Amino acid sequence: MTNPASRLLALFASVAAFAALAAPAHAEGEVNIYSSRHYDTDARLYSDFTEATGIKINLIEGKEEELMERMKAEGANSPADVFITADAGRLWRADQMGLLSPVDSEVLNERLPESLRHPDGHWFGISKRARVIFYDKEKVTEPPQTYAALADPKYKGLVCTRTGSNIYMLSLLGAYIANNGDEAAKTWAQGLKDNLAREPQGGDTDQLKGIVSGECAIAVANTYYFARGIASQVDGLSEGVDKIGIVFPDQDGNGTHVNISGAGVAAHAPNRDNAVKLLEYFTSDSAQSYFANGNNEYPVVEGIAASSVVEGLGSFTADTLNLNELGKNQARAQEIYNEIGYK
C-alpha cells in the first residue's frame, strides 16, 4: 500500500509535468532566426552574440518567399523570433502579410538613420548597398550621371539590366516613383527599355559580365557584386574589372538609390525580449563590421568603415527617402513594367 507522502509527491510530479506541457514555447536563453542570408561571417556574428549574452541562436535558413510563407502558415504557433532578408521591398511584403511587429528601441532609433528603418519600427536595416551605374570606360566617354539619364536616347542599344520583375528593379522604380511621380517614372522606364542592349536577363553579376564581354556598355547593378569581382575570383568578371567604371548617380539631386538587408521581430515571437536584444546587437560596431565585410556592403551605422575594396569604390551621398516607400510603390512599379512590356 502506497503511503500518503508518496501519493502527494506523485501528485506534485504530475502537476509539474502537466505545467511543462502546457507552457508556451518560450525559452529565456534562446532566439529563433528565419534568415535568407547565407554568409559565413554571419555565423561568427551569431556566435559572438551568444558568447556576449548567453542567448542561444537557432537558425533556419531558406529563400525569402519560402520563409514568409512558412511563417504565415505557422501563424500564432510560429517559433520565429526574428526575420532577416535582403531588400526593403521584401520587408514591406512581410509586414503586409502581418509577419512583423513594432519595436520601440532607443538603441535602434539612435543608431540607425530614419530612412533605413520602418516609421513604426516594424523592421530595421542591418547592412546597406547602393544601386549604381557601371560602364565600359573605352566605349562610353560620357557616362550617365543620373538615373534619368539612362533613358537618354544617346545611350540607345547600350544598357543592360535585370528583368522588370526582379525585386531590385522594382525597388529602383519604386524610388523613382516616390521622387519624381508616376508619369515621369513611366516615361523613364520606357526610355530605359528603348536603350536596352539585350532583353533583360540574369543577375547583377551577369550585367557586369556583359560589359566585360562587350555585349553591354552600361549596366545597372548593386555595388557589392562589383566589389566581389575585385576581392575574389569571379569568372567572366574579375579579369575585366579594370575596364569598368562606376558612377554614383544623382549626386546633385536626390542622391544615390540605396537598399538594405534588414530584420524585424516576428509578430508571434515567443522570445520577444531576446529578439529585440539581437536587433540591437546588429547595430553594434562589431556586428556592423561583420555584416559589411561578409557581403562587401556598407554599414548602416555612421562611423563604421566598410571593407577596403568597398571604400575604394568611392564615397557618395545617398538618397534619404524612407525605404518603406519602395514597398508602397512596388505594385505600381510592376504595373508600369508590365504596361510598357519590360520583360
- Looking at residue 42, its pLDDT comes to 86
**pLDDT tens-digit profile of 181-195?**
999 999 999 999 999
What phi and psi, each to the nearest 5 degrees, are found at residue 12?
-60, -40
The rounded distance, in Å, linking the Cα atoms of 95 and 194 is 35
Indicate the range of 19-33, 76-90, 117-131, 287-301 predicted with least confidence: 19-33
Q: Is the pLDDT of residue 59 over 80?
A: yes
Closest C-alpha among 139, 141, 175, 166 to residue 253: 175
The rounded distance, in Å, linking the Cα atoms of 162 and 208 is 11
Indicate the range of 5-9, 207-211, 225-229, 329-333 predicted with least confidence: 5-9
Cell of 262: 534588414
What phi and psi, each to the nearest 5 degrees, are found at residue 214?
95, 0
- Looking at residue 39, its pLDDT comes to 80
Query: Burial level of 117, CB count in 10 A (0-12/13-18/19+)?
Result: buried
pLDDT (average), residues 227-250: 97
Confidence class for position 293, pLDDT limits 50, 70, 90 = confident
The rounded distance, in Å, linking the Cα atoms of 317 and 297 is 15
Q: What angle do CA 37, 55, 38 make, to 5 degrees?
A: 10
- Domain 25-128+259-306 shares a fold with domain 129-257+325-340: yes
The SS3 call for residue 36 is coil
Sign of CA dihedral 89, 296, 132, 165: negative
pLDDT (average), residues 160-168: 97
What phi and psi, each to the nearest 5 degrees, are found at residue 78?
-65, 135
Indicate the range of 40-54, 112-126, 152-166, 220-234 predicted with least confidence: 40-54
Domain spans in the chain, listed from the N-terminal domain onward: 25-128+259-306, 129-257+325-340
**pLDDT tens-digit profile of 8-28?**
333 333 333 323 333 334 446
Q: Is the pLDDT of residue 308 over 80?
A: yes
Query: Burial level of 18, CB count in 10 A (0-12/13-18/19+)?
Result: exposed
- Looking at residue 5, its pLDDT comes to 40
Q: Is the pLDDT of residue 208 over 80?
A: yes
pLDDT (average), residues 104-115: 98
- Looking at residue 4, its pLDDT comes to 41
- Looking at residue 28, its pLDDT comes to 63
pLDDT > 70: percent of the chain? 92
pLDDT (average), residues 82-106: 97
Closest C-alpha among 2, 340, 335, 295 to residue 170: 335
Average pLDDT, the chain: 92
Contact present, 313 and 226 (Cβ < 8 Å) = yes
Q: Is the pLDDT of residue 7 over 90?
A: no
Strand partners, 132: 221
Closest C-alpha among 219, 278, 284 to residue 245: 219
Strand runs (DSSP E) across 42-122, as ranges? Answer: 56-61, 82-86, 100-101
Q: pTM of the full predicted structure?
A: 0.90
Identify the CATH class of 25-128+259-306: alpha beta
333 to each of 196, 328, 336, 342, how far by Cα in Å? 18, 10, 5, 11
pLDDT (average), residues 120-142: 98
* 190-206 burial: b if 16+ Cβ within 10 Å, else e: bbbbebbbeebebebbb
Strand partners, 190: none
Q: Is the pLDDT of residue 288 over 90?
A: yes
The rounded distance, in Å, linking the Cα atoms of 271 and 242 is 49
Q: Is the pLDDT of residue 40 over 70?
A: yes
Say which CATH superfamily domain 129-257+325-340 falls into: Periplasmic binding protein-like II (3.40.190.10)
Contact present, 105 and 280 (Cβ < 8 Å) = yes
Residue matched to cell numbers 522594382: 170
**First-last CA distance in the chain:** 82
DSSP count for the chain of H helices, then E strands: 14, 9
